Chain A
């Protein structure tokens, strides 16, 4: 149980275009989802927290107009990187928290974004 999927697993896009990453909880309802960014050999950096049906809460320094997060249902959250630049290239990982289990989070497999 507690499986989280991400799509796509990797994506290459051109500078200036937008790319959408999906995060789905497959066998549970995720009241809260988190989006992280991870650079090579570095830790997980929390970008934003999203609760179903409400606006995402962004961490300090994360541009909310650039990284659009939508958590429209209890099983799906999306991260859209708008007007992507090479410096946005990174590993993006989502995680989900189930209703009634406030402390555990289940990670997706990650999406490798490369902006050329």
Chain B
């Protein structure tokens, strides 16, 4: 089955800095890669996603890049703010069932 590795497990940055979280996946058939943000005790919320026919996608301060050859994708957050502090999960899934496999999560801490 699919295996998703996520790094780092914890990321601490100063407000205004950029943050990058990286994920690798094992199954080349995976073609949908969402990123979720989960605040403490709350539900995961989709913040951005990318399909395998696209190399990069941006939404304001958030961007995701995908390298299909290397089987890795990354989340980039620019101009970080304290409210960006949360746990971020990457996931990979493939057509048909689209059942996602999640990474272990990255705890992002943005210091004011």
Contacts and interface: CB of A to CB of B under 8 A. Distances in A.
Given A44-B102, A49-B99, A102-B98, A107 B45 contact: yes
A105 B98 CA distance: 10
Nearest to A46: B99
A46 B41 CA distance: 18
Interface in A100-116: 102-105, 107-110, 112
Q: Do most interface residues of chain B lie in helix, strand or loop, or is the interface mixed?
A: loop
Contacts of B104: 42-43
A33 B45 CA distance: 16
Interface in A63-109: 91, 93, 97, 102-105, 107-109
A43 B89 contact: yes
Contacts of A104: 34, 46, 49
A109 B44 contact: no
A105 B36 CA distance: 11
Contacts of A49: 97, 99
Interface in A31-58: 34, 41-44, 46, 49
Contacts of B36: 107
Given A43-B105, A44-B89, A109 B42 contact: yes
A46 to B, nearest CB: 7
A53 B107 CA distance: 38
Given A91-B41, A110-B41, 16 more contacts: A34-B99, A41-B107, A43-B89, A43-B102, A43-B103, A46-B100, A49-B99, A93-B44, A102-B95, A103-B49, A103-B93, A103-B98, A104-B34, A104-B46, A107-B36, A110-B42
Interface of A: 34, 41-44, 46, 49, 91, 93, 97, 102-105, 107-110, 112
Interface of B: 32, 34, 36, 41-46, 49, 89, 93, 95, 97-100, 102-105, 107
Which 9 pairs from chain A and chain B are nearest by CB? A107-B43, A103-B98, A103-B32, A43-B104, A109-B43, A43-B102, A44-B102, A107-B44, A102-B98
